[in-house]
Structure 1
Amino acid sequence: MGLNEAPLMFNFEVESSENLKFIPMVVRFNLDRFGLRISLEQWQMLPHEDRALLARFPVDDDTAIEPNFDHALFEMLRTHANVEPEWFTPEDNPAWRNTAVVPETVLNQAELADLAAPSAAQWAQLEPFQRYVLAKLSRKAASNHDFLPAMKEFGLAG
């Protein structure tokens, strides 16, 4: 599978990422998928072209399909920041993969945003990457400013 023609970003991210100043969800997904962690400072050390390239990698959940994200990231960070990303062990079965149950963190985030939580049927109909995004935006107990725009974009809020 090849790279996307352009960075893969949701409408709600375009403004909040400030032209890739912040790490877009597609890159966060691939970092989590490969078990890599980088800081915002390290991300911002990369030239814009490299950040845009990393945001073009696909969001398939199978690391065997596109094994070059991690290699590209390592090379870019070595070249431009003289650092390497941290490794961690990815979750075997993160909550967003379960199509039958809306994660508790998403329910909590919906409550914080004064929104009706997605039903199990709505959750099941979302694309895997959309479920990942909502779960990622819900991981902290505080309200996330991107959660409501994401819910609207995914057709879950008016």
Structure 2
Amino acid sequence: MIPVAVDTVFFAFESDFVVSLRCIPMIVRYKLDTCGIKLKLPEWVKLNLAEKDELATRPCCTAADIVAYRTYLSRLVQDRCGHPASELGAVDAVWDHLRDVPDDIQQKAREWHRPPLTLQQWIDLDTLQRFALVKLSRSGHEGRNFPRALDEFGLS
């Protein structure tokens, strides 16, 4: 996976928790996938607001950025939680595949009685928007933010 530099963005559909950062925002989740660390919500809640903000704003694109991000996050987890950070394992960055719209997204759109995304709509989204739709469409995810994200991204 070759990471793409993304701006620190908090989506409107995250607004109910972004001020307190009580949940892990998409920008951090993107960086977690980029650096290969799995951060669980119980670990996230043990971080202070400044640390959470740092994880949202710290760059994680170049090889050096990724190493620095991973090192910082690993130290935080060890210091705050008393155990090593978990490895994420292989990540299939389907948000970077621009040949077709992922099936999970099309299925989630059908579940919410929304029209399927066209390939052009998918391509026109930025990396973080595509990442968010992929994460919001995965089974086991609550999903109520999926239609909010579609609306926010102009896909309604």
Fold agreement, TM-score > 0.5: yes
Q: Residue 71 of structure 1 aligns to which amino acid in structure 2?
A: T
Partners of 2:13 and 2:135 lie apart in 1 by: 14
State the SS of the aligned residue for 1:55.
helix
Relative to 1, partners in 2 of residues 1:117 and 1:65: Cα closer, same or farther, differing over 3 Å?
Answer: farther
Match of 2:87 in 1: 87
User: Quick check: 1:138–1:147 contact (8 Å CA) kept in 2?
Assistant: yes
State the SS of the aligned residue for 1:45.
coil
Relative to 1, partners in 2 of residues 1:18 and 1:114: Cα closer, same or farther, differing over 3 Å?
Answer: farther
**How far does the alpha carbon of each residue in 1:44-99 deviate from its partner, in whole angstroms, 9 at most, with x for none?**
0111110111111346xx441622221111121222222221113333x5322111
Relative to 1, partners in 2 of residues 1:3 and 1:142: Cα closer, same or farther, differing over 3 Å?
Answer: closer
User: Quick check: 2:137–2:143 contact (8 Å CA) kept in 1?
Assistant: yes
**How far does the alpha carbon of each residue in 1:13-45 deviate from its partner, in whole angstroms, 9 at most, with x for none?**
121446210111111111111111121001001
The gaps in structure 2 that reach 5 residues or longer are: none
Q: Residue 32 of structure 1 aligns to which amino acid in structure 2?
A: D
Partners of 2:64 and 2:90 lie apart in 1 by: 17
1:55 corresponds to 2:40: no
Match of 1:146 in 2: 145
68-77 or 104-113, which moves further after superposition?
68-77
Partners of 1:143 and 1:117 lie apart in 2 by: 20
Q: CA RMSD in A?
A: 2.3
Alignment of 1:101-120 (within 5 A): 101-120=100-119
User: Quick check: 1:3–1:57 contact (8 Å CA) kept in 2?
Assistant: no
Relative to 1, partners in 2 of residues 1:78 and 1:84: Cα closer, same or farther, differing over 3 Å?
Answer: same
Query: How many equivalent pairs are there?
Result: 151
The gaps in structure 1 that reach 5 residues or longer are: none
Fraction of identical pairs, as percent: 27
Partners of 1:57 and 1:142 lie apart in 2 by: 26
**Which ranges of 4 or more aligned residues in structure 1 deviate by more than 4 Å?**
none
Q: Residue 155 of structure 1 aligns to which amino acid in structure 2?
A: G
User: Quick check: 2:10–2:26 contact (8 Å CA) kept in 1?
Assistant: yes
Q: Residue 76 of structure 2 aligns to which amino acid in structure 1?
A: M
Task: State the 1:113 CA deviation.
Answer: 1.2
Match of 1:36 in 2: 37
Relative to 1, partners in 2 of residues 1:38 and 1:133: Cα closer, same or farther, differing over 3 Å?
Answer: same
